[in-house]
Structure 1
Amino acid sequence: MNVTYKRSEKLRQFFIILLPILITQLGLYSMNFFDIMMSGKYSTDDVAGVSIGSSIWVPVYTGLSGILLAITPIVSQLIGAREKKSVPYSIIQGVYLAVVMAILIIIIGSIVLNPILNGMDLAPKVHQVAHDYLVALSLGMIPLFIYNVLRSFIDSLGQTRISMIITLLSLPVNVLFNYLLIYGKFGFPELGGVGSGYATAITYWVITFIAFFVIINIHPFADYKIFKTFYKVSFKEWASLLKIGVPIGFSIFFETSIFAAVTLLMSGFDTITIASHQIAMNFASFLYMMPLSISMALTILVGFEVGARRLKDAREYGLIGIFMAVCMSLLCALVIFLFREPVASIYTEDAKVMKLTAHFLIYALFFQLSDAVAAPIQGTLRGYKDVNFTFLMSLLSYWVIGLPTGYLFANLTDLGASGYWIGLITGLAVGALGLLSRLIYVQRVKFPKQYGYNE
């Protein structure tokens, strides 16, 4: 990354870092999409099993991998402060922690998986596919967690284009092995939906090996000599990583798990309502890739500037990110409003489902506006290593305000399923306002006071 002096230079650097992150996130989103879509072509039971397995895995993975996102602000600040010699030590400790976390998840999963599936009252075939899919996926868990550390290092140097290239290379690998292992082509075993689990695990190994190769051999990563010395395990450094990472991980977990909770609570509604809700939520999740990517870019840029004690520049990047997210949100809101029925028709040909989906997409419009404020602020605060307030606001906005409010509206009024959307929007709005107040305090009071000056 470069030191910037003019706003035009900041905008250019912002987009250079943002666009590859956005493509990377869309690529990762597509990987799960191909797993479900290609399993669906095999059989209904298989797609149901893969969907159930994925719904269990995604909140757990996103929450735990969020812990490892602590690497990004730590390394960004070290680079900004020109303490490059400390970077390899932090990365190696992060790799050690990632391996331990992955092993613990595999052990805990082997104990709790069957009880969880048994409690869901699934058809025997669906139960078996979901179980075997997750077992297959676990074979790639260790490399996946290591890759998260390596990707955080790559991104923290501002080289997000490299992460994008690795992700784009992984997509054809995933699709190829899905084809070979789901359908049993070219002598490979025909495993159905379970094959997508093995295909994804293989893909995780591939992208991790590519990341290792890049970091060892390609400038500027090779200059850091990350794997030249394997330091002793430092529980003190782990504690530093966890102090920042655990609040980030729990914040993400609260955010992703709330939608699974709402889906479970909506199981009492008819099939048309459930299907319409899932379609609208899926499209809203797709649109969320933009504010999420802006958030990740801001963590890198703000961390770099804060490490160099350029607080004015850090504030300016935060404003650029929030302004950009709001503009994109307004554009997406306009698209949703004008084309909600064509969007619904992409997912279904059932007229009743299409009509109700179009109705739910109106609520998704308000989702975009709240996310456009909340997500960039979260990323900015992570750049300052200020993460505990974000964790508390995620708990408060989603689980203390959003879910109970939605439940009351859905069950004690005539709003029905729409009540859950109103509840979540209410929680998101409260969360966005709370985060905005925290950002103002951090930028105007906490950090100027900490560094003994104000810009």
Structure 2
Amino acid sequence: MDTGLTDSSDVKPSTNWREELSALLVLGVPMAAAQIVSMLTLTIDLLMISRVGAEEIAAASLALVVNFLLWMIAAGPVMAVTPLVSQALGADKHDYTDVRHSVRMGLWLIVALIPLLVIVIWAMEPLASLMGQDPAIASRARDYMALLAFGWPFMMGVMALRNFLAAINKTTIPFLLILLTAGLNAVFNYILIFGNFGAPKLDLLGAGIASSLAGLCSFVFFIIYIKLDSSACKFDLFKNWHRPDWPRFRDVVKLGWPISVSTIFEGMLFNAGVLLMGVIGVMEMAAYQIGLNVASLAFMVPWGLSMAGAVRIGHAAGAGNLPAAKRAASVCVALSTVTMTILALAIALSPNIITALYVGPDAENDVIRALVIGFLPLAAGFMFFDAIQVAANQLLRGLKDVQIPMVMTGISYWIIGFPVAYYLGLKTDVGANGIWYGLTAGLLAASIFLGARLFWVLWVKRRLRVEN
């Protein structure tokens, strides 16, 4: 299938700044758009669940903490696909076998994590109660998470396949497939949450079923596309899919586990904020989740651009082209921070408008509405640092530099960020706002550490092969 769109399987590094900017935009804009639409799957859930009630939002927030933890654990092997594939293609764009084995072993690792998924769901209700969460909210969250879990392996599989497609500069059709998935999720939500078209009214449980159905459909769509696309099909990804390649499996694990840990360090700081807010109150917890959802939507733009940057720097590293790698890094960081700054200003200046999208006009929602309006400018305050750290981190991953950045993220988020959030949020009169200040402190530290690491690797040590 030749789509005739702008995707190209050409993976050569750039020779000048304009060429690099053009290549990053062609690759990164659809990836950023796809990230936004992916996030919209959860946003649509929250928007519809918020119409049911505050307790349902709180239960969904708690379940999404667990769902996100599982996503972060699997993120390592999934994200490891990008540098493995892009560097292999940078060295030899016809090395189909090497690429196929990397993708296959990434998918194998996702399957291997399914037993952990079952254990976490079984343990989440008692653990939530031990951490001071409302027992009724914890029970609802467990049921919702159990239904989300059916779609989890498929959505992680989609992410691995998307990373492969990005590495061969195929991003337009994947974006359209993700857009279709979000649309299906919205339709399934409308039917199952509210009981439309003769379906039972399932409220929160309906949202879980809808998300899983959408994930399954998305995985099928990507398999069909890869088999039909004239460039992707050359890799024959699913040939002998049942056969292991244990050396490559170890490569994926070796590269993937520090990425998973780094992602957990960062992501669980934000999710720890959910738990800290839950100690303060249900309304604060629900409002925090809405504010975090808005910030996460904005974050999808620099994240998508930085994922493209990881592909670009991986191609340059595979070809041994240091000047091209420097261009890829510079353009990626600059573009990510500029776009994020624009989005942060828009959020800071329009909290009332954004809040109205999430919270209904009823008087009973006055408290949560006021909290969200107060939280959004605070969320906008850390976005600049968030863009720098994600760009630097993704670029380092494209160079296969993962272990030292892992330590840096641990220090930033849990030695600096969490103590600030905990102390200000629970031990001072600053209260709920203090949790946002803690997030900002962690992201500021990460942007400094990871930015310095990227500069050290490319401009001081001048190396493309990083031995951890």
Structure 1 residue 363 corresponds to structure 2 residue 411: no
Residues in 1 aligned to 2:221 and 2:38: alpha-carbon distance in whole angstroms: 16
Q: State the match for 1:374 in structure 2.
A: 389
Q: State the match for 2:3 in structure 1.
A: none
* Matched residue SS, 1:227: coil
What do residues 311-335 of structure 1 show as CA deviations (whole Å, max 9, x unaligned)? 1111101101111122223323433
Q: CA deviation at 1:308?
A: 1.0
Q: State the match for 1:408 in structure 2.
A: 423
Residues in 2 aligned to 1:410 and 1:384: alpha-carbon distance in whole angstroms: 38
Q: State the match for 1:97 in structure 2.
A: 109
Structure 1 residue 444 corresponds to structure 2 residue 455: no
Structure 1 residue 17 corresponds to structure 2 residue 32: no
1:255 to 249, 257, 266: 266
Q: State the match for 2:187 in structure 1.
A: 176
Q: State the match for 1:395 in structure 2.
A: 410
* Matched residue SS, 2:45: helix
What do residues 21-43 of structure 1 show as CA deviations (whole Å, max 9, x unaligned)? 11111111111122233334445
Q: CA deviation at 1:266?
A: 3.2
Structure 1 residue 72 corresponds to structure 2 residue 87: no
TM-score (norm 2): 0.87
1:174-213 mapped onto 2 (5 Å cutoff)? 174-213=185-224
Closer, same or farther: CA 383–197 of 1 in aligned 2, 3 Å:
same
1:424 to 439, 444, 451: 439
Q: CA deviation at 1:368?
A: 1.5
Q: State the match for 2:39 in structure 1.
A: 29
Closer, same or farther: CA 53–187 of 1 in aligned 2, 3 Å:
same
Residues in 1 aligned to 2:74 and 2:33: alpha-carbon distance in whole angstroms: 22
Q: State the match for 2:160 in structure 1.
A: 149
Q: State the match for 2:449 in structure 1.
A: 434
Taking only aligned residues, the RMSD between alpha carbons, in angstroms, comes to 2.7
Q: CA deviation at 1:418?
A: 3.0
Q: State the match for 1:300 in structure 2.
A: 311
Q: CA deviation at 1:292?
A: 1.3
Q: CA deviation at 1:78?
A: 0.6
Residues in 2 aligned to 1:183 and 1:276: alpha-carbon distance in whole angstroms: 22
1:88–1:226 contact (8 Å) kept in structure 2: yes
Structure 1 residue 116 corresponds to structure 2 residue 116: no
What do residues 143-200 of structure 1 show as CA deviations (whole Å, max 9, x unaligned)? 2332222222112112121221110111222122223333344454443321221221
Deviates more, 1:344-353 or 1:79-88: 344-353
Residues in 1 aligned to 2:180 and 2:289: alpha-carbon distance in whole angstroms: 29
Residues in 2 aligned to 1:69 and 1:314: alpha-carbon distance in whole angstroms: 19
Matched to 1:63, the amino acid is: I
Q: CA deviation at 1:355?
A: 5.7
Closer, same or farther: CA 48–363 of 1 in aligned 2, 3 Å:
closer
Q: State the match for 2:5 in structure 1.
A: none
Q: State the match for 1:84 in structure 2.
A: 96
Matched to 1:218, the amino acid is: D
* Matched residue SS, 2:256: helix
What do residues 342-365 of structure 1 show as CA deviations (whole Å, max 9, x unaligned)? 444554556776665455444333
Structure 1 residue 51 corresponds to structure 2 residue 80: no
Closer, same or farther: CA 6–407 of 1 in aligned 2, 3 Å:
same
1:241 to 252, 270, 290: 252
* Matched residue SS, 1:69: helix
Deviates more, 1:128-137 or 1:367-376: 128-137
Q: CA deviation at 1:406?
A: 2.8
Q: CA deviation at 1:111?
A: 3.6
1:63–1:251 contact (8 Å) kept in structure 2: no
Q: State the match for 1:332 in structure 2.
A: 343
Overall identity of the aligned pairs, in %: 28
2:30–2:175 contact (8 Å) kept in structure 1: yes
What do residues 49-105 of structure 1 show as CA deviations (whole Å, max 9, x unaligned)? 33332232123213323431100110001111113331112222222222112x222
1:381–1:439 contact (8 Å) kept in structure 2: yes
Closer, same or farther: CA 32–311 of 1 in aligned 2, 3 Å:
same
* Matched residue SS, 2:382: helix
Q: CA deviation at 1:263?
A: 2.7
Residues in 2 aligned to 1:335 and 1:48: alpha-carbon distance in whole angstroms: 27
* Matched residue SS, 1:395: helix
Q: Which structure 1 segments of 5+ residues have no match? A: none
The number of residue pairs the alignment matches comes to 449
Matched to 1:259, the amino acid is: F
* Matched residue SS, 1:129: helix
Closer, same or farther: CA 420–122 of 1 in aligned 2, 3 Å:
closer
Residues in 1 aligned to 2:465 and 2:314: alpha-carbon distance in whole angstroms: 15
Deviates more, 1:305-314 or 1:333-342: 333-342
2:58–2:286 contact (8 Å) kept in structure 1: no
Residues in 1 aligned to 2:387 and 2:464: alpha-carbon distance in whole angstroms: 29
* Matched residue SS, 1:448: coil
Q: CA deviation at 1:340?
A: 4.1
What do residues 360-400 of structure 1 show as CA deviations (whole Å, max 9, x unaligned)? 44433331121121111111101101011221121111111
Q: CA deviation at 1:117?
A: 4.6
Residues in 2 aligned to 1:278 and 1:40: alpha-carbon distance in whole angstroms: 11
Larger relative contact order (C-alpha < 8 A, sep ≥ 6)?
2
Closer, same or farther: CA 322–100 of 1 in aligned 2, 3 Å:
same
TM-score (norm 1): 0.89
Matched to 2:63, the amino acid is: G
Residues in 2 aligned to 1:277 and 1:48: alpha-carbon distance in whole angstroms: 10
Closer, same or farther: CA 333–52 of 1 in aligned 2, 3 Å:
closer
